[in-house]
Amino acid sequence: MSARLAPLAVLACMTAMAACGSPRASSPVASDLPRQVGVAVLGTAAQPPEPMQLRIDEQAWDGYGGVVSLETSGPVAVRLIGDQTCREYANFTAEAGTNWVVRFAADESVAIEDWTGRSMDAGPALGERDPRECQATPSPSESPSPAAAAPGSHALVLPAWITERNVLPWCGHEQVERRTDGDFYDGAVRDCFVHAYEAGGAAEFATDGLTVEGGRTRSIYRSLGDGAIEVLLDQSGDPLATPAWSRASCTSLTEIGTDPAGVPIFIGGGCSNETLIEREASPADVTAQELRTIENLIAFASQPSMQTADAVPWADQVALGLADEVVASYSAADLHDPANWILERNAFRGRVGPFSALETLAEWQGSGMDSVTELAASGGPHPHCASPPVVGPAEVEELRRVSIQPVGVTSCLTWWTVDLYFDDEQQVVAVTLDLYEP
């Protein structure tokens, strides 16, 4: 079975992620006089994967779409850090008198390019900001492990057909954090799962990791009881793999080492029947890019800020609505203010207003079941809980529609859907909220 079922702690030096120090060997300098160091952060997309800061020694700048130049008489440490996930996209040493470009590809992999001796017209100057440590939610474990949460959110967003599995008692959502000294795992999540497995009980957890090339994989480990393990692996975010889910049946859990903080790393042992989950392509399937947009929207709902808002690829003008009606329209900049998401309606679907899709996402804490706090994502028209589909607003009815709905609700009275409408450039043109009428 493929080792991708569990990201390994010990990785080879990665060109794409610059995880092994400077991308080129340091060379001695002839003088201690101050000289310029230039660093540009560029990409093919208008927006980065998340808001980020460029740190050069003790100074910091907004980290995308421009260039920084500063004087130094010696080497400086350069780091590019995600504000939401604390992910380290780049980490290297730049000597005085050198120029560098940190470049994001379309698949979000990162390359570090040495531009020393070449003209570097890399766009506007990046805005300086106060340096600060990453503010991602700390792990419940005392070890320096990443938080048990989806990127920037408290909910796990999965394709709707995956959420239809038989859910098991939930141990958490681990996001593997790649640092210069290795990959860090979530001790609390893994302890929960190992305890259930060793006791012959049922449990599951999700883990998001990075491939060597910088792509994202997601696995769901499931302890089925009596030592049986099932692993569901999503490789849709890995540009070098088949963009599909696979399933493996295993007879044991095998520890293969620990991370730098001592958290155990394991994979399924005695695995067989690793097969792709074959499904006919359907408009209801969501793409990796659509899932990332949904996760970023949930991150904005949970922690509203200019940075989290800008991580969502908004169109210039965005409509907000209820069911099939557009109620308001705002510029992308105006959407930074959660107050503008509040739609004043005295009554809607038998409820008393006001209503807000953003507040609905932020307040979702799960169904109360002893299982994962999941949200299901699907494309196209969808059932209105137990009723036939409801058409979208006429203004956006012809656009790509992707819905976010809660998983595990036992009554339509607690059901809701937040629907996003995308244009051909994968920008969000409209967001609507709908509820079930008693």
pLDDT for res 423: 95
User: If you average pLDDT over residues 220-235, what whole number do you get?
Assistant: 88
**Is 145's pLDDT higher than 60?**
no
Q: What is the pLDDT of residues 64-73, one digit of tens each?
A: 888 898 898 8
- Please indicate, yes or no, if residue 283 is contained in any of the structural domains: no
Spatial neighbors of 240 by CB under 8 A, at least 6 apart, are 211, 213, 215
pLDDT for res 241: 64
- Please indicate, yes or no, if residue 282 is contained in any of the structural domains: no
Which string of DSSP letters, residue by residue, matches 235-252? -TT-TTS-SSEEEEEESE
Rounded Cα–Cα distance for residues 27 and 30 (Å) = 10
Q: What is the pLDDT of residues 2-11, one digit of tens each?
A: 222 333 222 2
Task: With beta carbons less than 8 A apart as the criterion, state whether 285 and 159 touch.
Answer: yes
- Please indicate, yes or no, if residue 281 is contained in any of the structural domains: no
Tell me, what CATH number does 85's domain have?
A: 2.60.40
User: If you average pLDDT over residues 151-171, what whole number do you get?
Assistant: 67
Pair type for strands 177-179 and 182-184: antiparallel
pLDDT for res 127: 87
Pair type for strands 416-422 and 400-406: antiparallel
User: If you average pLDDT over residues 394-405, what whole number do you get?
Assistant: 94
Tokens of 82: 């995600």
pLDDT for res 179: 75
Domain around 298: 288-435
pLDDT for res 323: 95
**Do residues 347 and 424 both lie within one domain?**
yes
Q: What is the pLDDT of residues 264-302, one digit of tens each?
A: 998 888 887 666 565 555 667 788 788 889 888 988 988
Read off the DSSP letter of residue 187. Answer: H
**Do residues 151 and 226 both lie within one domain?**
yes
Tell me, what CATH number does 375's domain have?
A: 3.10.450
Pseudo-torsion of CA 331, 336, 340, 341, nearest 10°? Answer: 100
pLDDT > 90: what percent of the chain? 25
- Please indicate, yes or no, if residue 6 is contained in any of the structural domains: no
**Is 356's pLDDT higher than 90?**
yes
pLDDT for res 359: 93
- Please indicate, yes or no, if residue 201 is contained in any of the structural domains: yes
Rounded Cα–Cα distance for residues 75 and 78 (Å) = 10
**Do residues 297 and 422 both lie within one domain?**
yes
Task: With beta carbons less than 8 A apart as the criterion, state whether 372 and 285 touch.
Answer: no
**Do residues 105 and 204 both lie within one domain?**
no
Total domains in the fold of the chain: 3
Q: Which of 234, 250, 276 is the last residue of a domain?
A: 276
Rounded Cα–Cα distance for residues 209 and 33 (Å) = 43
**Do residues 52 and 111 both lie within one domain?**
yes
- Please indicate, yes or no, if residue 82 is contained in any of the structural domains: yes
Rounded Cα–Cα distance for residues 157 and 298 (Å) = 9
Rounded Cα–Cα distance for residues 349 and 281 (Å) = 34
Arithmetic mean of pLDDT over the chain: 78
Pair type for strands 170-175 and 202-210: parallel
Segment among 17-26, 68-77, 247-256, 324-333 with least mean pLDDT:
17-26
Closest CA to 91 of 103, 78, 81, 100: 78
**What are the two backbone dihedrals, phi and then psi, of residue 52, each rounded to the nearest 5 degrees?**
-150, 160
Tokens of 171: 């141990």
**Do residues 123 and 142 both lie within one domain?**
no
**Do residues 370 and 419 both lie within one domain?**
yes
Spatial neighbors of 281 by CB under 8 A, at least 6 apart, are none
Q: Which of 242, 276, 310 is the last residue of a domain?
A: 276
Q: What is the pLDDT of residues 11-64, one digit of tens each?
A: 222 223 233 333 333 344 344 577 889 999 888 666 777 888 899 988 999 888
User: If you average pLDDT over residues 257-265, what whole number do you get?
Assistant: 91
**Is 123's pLDDT higher than 60?**
yes
- Please indicate, yes or no, if residue 28 is contained in any of the structural domains: no
- Please indicate, yes or no, if residue 199 is contained in any of the structural domains: yes
**Do residues 425 and 375 both lie within one domain?**
yes
**Do residues 85 and 172 both lie within one domain?**
no
**Do residues 182 and 61 both lie within one domain?**
no
Rounded Cα–Cα distance for residues 313 and 293 (Å) = 7
Q: Which of 129, 153, 180 is the last residue of a domain?
A: 129
pLDDT for res 176: 84
**Do residues 63 and 173 both lie within one domain?**
no
- Report which listed range, 111-115, 179-183, 233-237, is most confident: 111-115
Q: How far is CA 369 from CA 169, 192, 375, 415, in A?
A: 9, 17, 14, 15
pLDDT for res 277: 60
